[in-house]
Every structure is written in structure tokens, then in C-alpha cells.
Amino acid sequence: AWRVVAVGGIELNDDGFQYQSVAANALKGRFAQTSIAYYNTELSHGRLPAPLTTFPAGYPLAIALGMTLGLSSAQAGFAVSLLASLATLIALDRIARWLRLRPMGHGALLVAFAINAVAMHYATSVFTEALFTALCTWATLHWVVGTHELAQGRAAGARLLLGFGLYGAAYSVRYAGLFLILGALAAPALEALRRRRAALALRYTWPGLAIVAVVMLRNVGGVGDWKGGNDKSVWNDPWPILAKTLPNLVNLAFGSVSRQASVVLKFAVPLAAVLLACAIAAYLWRLSRRAAPAAQAGAGHDGEIESRRFVVYAGLGLLLYVAGIAYVRITSVTAYDVRMFYPTLPVLLALAAL
């Protein structure tokens, strides 16, 4: 409420009007079509409304659902973003309970997300970020918990199906969800090298993969490109892009930093990367040593084992997502700013609390 009053209403930008147009057309029976065509792919159809493939249609369809309740398109978009942000907060609470965080860490995790300036911004704006982040966070929760239960010999099929289905739903909101899906697939595949049972989780990926296939096939059928079109063959210098990673993460956590501080942070990237890798390796080594006696004793629900799995699975997904958006920026003209990093905030906060 404070954010809405402070900015004088619901925040919109070019993409926000695009989503509203697609939602309005959906209510008229025109699925995933926009009357605001400002990308070459949509303009190439030579008509309005034009099929939209530059963005997936998940968020506009959620707005259309809200409009059926009597809300305006802007109000519906705001409602979706606000409810999605609340859903993310609930997911963080579930993650904290599953990890058995101490009360101080549990409370700090929830407060850190609730008062985060970037989170408040997207919770009160007509952007895809809030819904995409909520779906990603819940997907990560169910996928990590499900693979843990499966490793413990318990029934986890429904949870795994739901988790990967949510990954697919996230892809239908933003194409960047593909990088999270790759991370979710990589974790059990790597674990299967040591424990064959871990590979069983891959049997439950079909709901999410089906959603991805439907979206890609529609793009191929519409514009001949599974990525949705608007491809521009470029190659940007990787170093300046990668050097923005740490400043973006700092901005995500604390808000915008000064130009001078940003320059310092760019030079700190290599050192920070090495220190982070060493810290994760040391943490996993400690957990493996402490978890071994519990596993030998037959413990089925040990906090150390759960923490290790969350660090490995969520951490691998996080790394692949960041690597993916960095690669897209290097090979295209897309942005590489805080907006791209916002979906990582819940997992980053959970890892920090852990």
C-alpha cells in the first residue's frame, strides 16, 4: 500500500501495456494476440491484432482471468503481481520450515523479502517478474523436497509432478524459465552418477516439458523460431557484461549503488567468484562429513541432509540461470539488469539465511 501511494498508482511501462492488450484480446477470443505491435516479429504479420511470440502468453492470460472478475486490465495485472508476491513469501516460509531454520533466521528471511525495495516494486507493477518469481520459488521448493523424499524411499510422485509442472508454467510466463528447467534437470542427473535412485526423479518431468513443448511448437508454427523471433545476430564483449553481475546482485539486495561503488564492485567480481566457490565447497564438505553418521544410523529426515540438498539443487539452478541470462545478453540485445536477477532473490535469501 505504501508503494502504491508513493508512486501515485500502479506502475506501468511499454511491456505492461503490451500485456494488457494481449489480455483484452484474449477475452475477445483472440488467444495470444496483441494490438500494440512494436517488435519486428509482430509487425511482420501485417495485421492487427498480431500473434504475439516475443513474450509468452502466461502473464497476460492471468490478467485476463482477473478481468473476468470485473477488474480493469491494470487492476488485474496489479492483483496478479501482488498475490504472486504474497505467494512467494509463503513459499519462503515453507522453505524455512523444511530447512528447520532457527527462529531468528526464519524471521529474518521473511522480513528481508517483504521489505526489499525491488520486491515491493514488482509486487505493485504490471510486470511478469512477480508471477515468474512465485512460480520459480514454488517449483524449486517442491522439486527439492520431492527429490529428497524420493532419495529417502518415500512416495514423492505428486510433489515432483507439481514441481516440474510449475517450472513449465514459469516458462509460459518468461522464456528465461528454460534456464531454471535446465538446472532442475542437471541436479538429479549429476546425483545419479553416485546414486542411481536420484535419476528416478527425471520420470516426473513430463508435465513441465509438455508445457515447454507446446509453447515452442506454437512459436515455430507462427514465426518459424522456437525462441519466438526477434533474433539479432550479435556478439557483445563478455567481460563488461559479466562484470555487472555483482553490482546487479548488490542492487537487488540493497537498492541502487553509486557509480563509484559500481566501479569498485566490477573489479571485485573475480575475487568474489573465487571466494564464493571456496565457501560453497567448504560448506558442502562439512555437511557431507556431518551427514554421513546420520545416514548410517538410518536417519530419514535430518536437517543437515536437507540443507545439503537445498544448497546443491537450488545453488546449481541459480548458477545455470545466471549463466543463461549472461549468455543471452552476450549474444543478443536484451537487458542485463536487476530485472533479470529478481527471480533469484528468494533463493539467494534462503541460502543466506541457511
CB–CB of 228/322 below 8 Å?
no
| pLDDT greater than 70 at residue 7 | no
Over the Cα atoms of the chain, what is R_g? 21
C-alpha distances (whole Å) from 274 to each of 148, 292, 311 are: 29, 27, 17
Q: Which one-letter amino acid corresponds to residue 147?
A: T
CB–CB of 188/23 below 8 Å?
no
For the chain, counts of helices (H) and of strands (E): 17, 2
User: Residue 327 and residue 330: Cα distance in Å, rounded?
Assistant: 5
- pLDDT for 306: 73
Residue 138's pLDDT band, with cuts at 50, 70 and 90, is: very high
pLDDT (average), residues 25-45: 84
Overall pTM surpassing 0.85 (yes/no): no
Highest mean pLDDT among 61-75, 230-244, 274-288, 313-327: 61-75
C-alpha distances (whole Å) from 105 to each of 64, 110, 349 are: 38, 9, 10
Q: What is the pLDDT of residues 177-235, one digit of tens each?
A: 999 898 888 877 777 666 666 667 788 888 899 999 999 998 888 878 888 776 677 78
Residue 274 has φ and ψ, to the nearest 5°, of -65, -45
> What DSSP letter does each residue of 14-53 carry, written as one string?
HHHHHHHHHHHHHHTT-TTEES---SHHHHTT-SSSEE--
Give the position of cell 528454460: 178
Kindly give, in sequence order, each residue whose CB lies less than 8 Å from that of residue 221, ignoring residues fewer than 6 positions away.
Answer: none
CA angle in degrees (0–180, nearest 5) for 175-66-91: 60
Kindly give, in sequence order, each residue whose CB lies less than 8 Å from that of residue 295, ignoring residues fewer than 6 positions away.
Answer: 302, 305
CB–CB of 54/41 below 8 Å?
yes
| pLDDT greater than 90 at residue 137 | yes
User: Residue 22 and residue 39: Cα distance in Å, rounded?
Assistant: 14
| pLDDT greater than 50 at residue 18 | yes
Mean residue pLDDT of the chain comes to: 81
Q: What is the pLDDT of residues 280-321, one digit of tens each?
A: 666 666 655 654 454 444 444 455 667 777 887 888 888 888
- pLDDT for 183: 86
Give the position of cell 564492485: 265
Q: What is the pLDDT of residues 154-178, one digit of tens each?
A: 777 888 899 999 999 999 999 989 9
- pLDDT for 310: 83
- pLDDT for 61: 93
Residue 40's pLDDT band, with cuts at 50, 70 and 90, is: confident
3-class SS at 11?
A: strand
